[in-house]
């Protein structure tokens, strides 16, 4: 199964509730919240209050991506607000193992996010306790960037690592995930797609139509991938 997760940072912030309800009705699988502190990345974004405010409008899982320095300080706050999944950057903490443990202790699913230039070796001692790895396919901080072509090889390398270690870890990809990149990245093993301005939140495009088109396209890629196997 390949899961579609709208990136709410890319939505119209003035009609965020309407966008969530529309996307929920269209059958997306989860909602992705980018949280930025202006320190770890040069931008500010969604807060725990946003997560809490939107929680009542959908039962779909909330995936919180903490692009913040020392993310362990915020785990409890976001779980209390309604987060079901929390990913933290390997580059943002000196105590990655401890932070993952804390996410587990709070009953959420734990993810590790890594920047494009970060080696997969940072996962060597935590992969078995990680529900998903968020591979950044652009440098984090801003939407609308160009997909970094070397990340196809990185997805392939992560899939091989997961298979070698025999874990159930899922591969999430985040950054310019559009129809063109999806057709290439799903066969390599990506199973959680973070979708923003490249295929969902587009100017002069109906959100509902874009979501339905995306779902049909992803299902077709799954079918083609199964035929190849």
Among candidate residues 28, 30, 26, 34, the one with its CA nearest the CA of residue 8 = 34
Greatest alpha-carbon span in the chain = 46
CA distance 226 to 187: 9
Cβ distance 7 to 143 under 8 Å? Answer: yes
Tokens of 226: 């199964």
**Which candidate in 18, 101, 174, 206 is catalytic?**
174
CB within 8 Å of 204: residues ≥ 6 apart: none
**Which candidate in 34, 37, 53, 168 is catalytic?**
34
Report how far apart, in Å, the C-alpha atoms of 60 and of each of 28, 68, 124 are. 8, 24, 31
> How far does Cα 222 stand from its chain's mean position?
19
Cβ distance 159 to 171 under 8 Å? Answer: yes
Cβ distance 55 to 24 under 8 Å? Answer: no
Q: Catalytic annotation on 34? A: yes
CA distance 202 to 92: 31
Tokens of 212: 């339905």
CB within 8 Å of 177: residues ≥ 6 apart: 137, 147, 185, 193, 194, 195, 196, 198, 199
Residues assigned a catalytic role: 34, 174
């Amino acid at each position: 199964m390949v899961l579609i997760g709208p990136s709410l940072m890319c939505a119209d912030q003035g009609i965020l509730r309407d966008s969530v309800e529309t996307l929920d009705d269209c059958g997306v699988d989860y909602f992705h919240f980018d949280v930025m502190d202006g320190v770890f990345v040069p931008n500010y974004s969604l807060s725990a209050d946003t997560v809490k405010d939107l929680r009542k409008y959908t039962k779909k899982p909330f995936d919180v991506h903490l692009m913040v320095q020392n993310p362990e300080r915020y785990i409890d706050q976001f779980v209390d607000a309604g987060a079901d999944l929390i990913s933290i950057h390997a580059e943002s903490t000196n105590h990655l193992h401890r932070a993952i443990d804390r996410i587990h202790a709070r009953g959420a699913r734990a993810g590790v996010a890594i920047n494009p230039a970060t080696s997969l070796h940072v996962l060597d001692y935590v992969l078995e306790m990680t529900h998903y790895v968020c591979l950044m396919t652009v440098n984090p901080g801003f939407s609308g960037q160009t997909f970094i072509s070397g990340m196809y090889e990185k997805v392939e390398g992560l899939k091989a690592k997961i298979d070698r270690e025999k874990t159930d870890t899922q591969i999430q990809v985040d950054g310019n995930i559009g129809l063109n990149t999806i057709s290439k990245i799903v066969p390599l093993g990506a199973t959680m797609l973070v979708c923003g301005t490249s295929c969902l939140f587009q100017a002069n495009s109906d959100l509902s139509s874009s979501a339905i088109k995306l779902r049909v396209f992803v299902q077709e890629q799954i079918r083609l991938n199964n035929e190849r196997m």
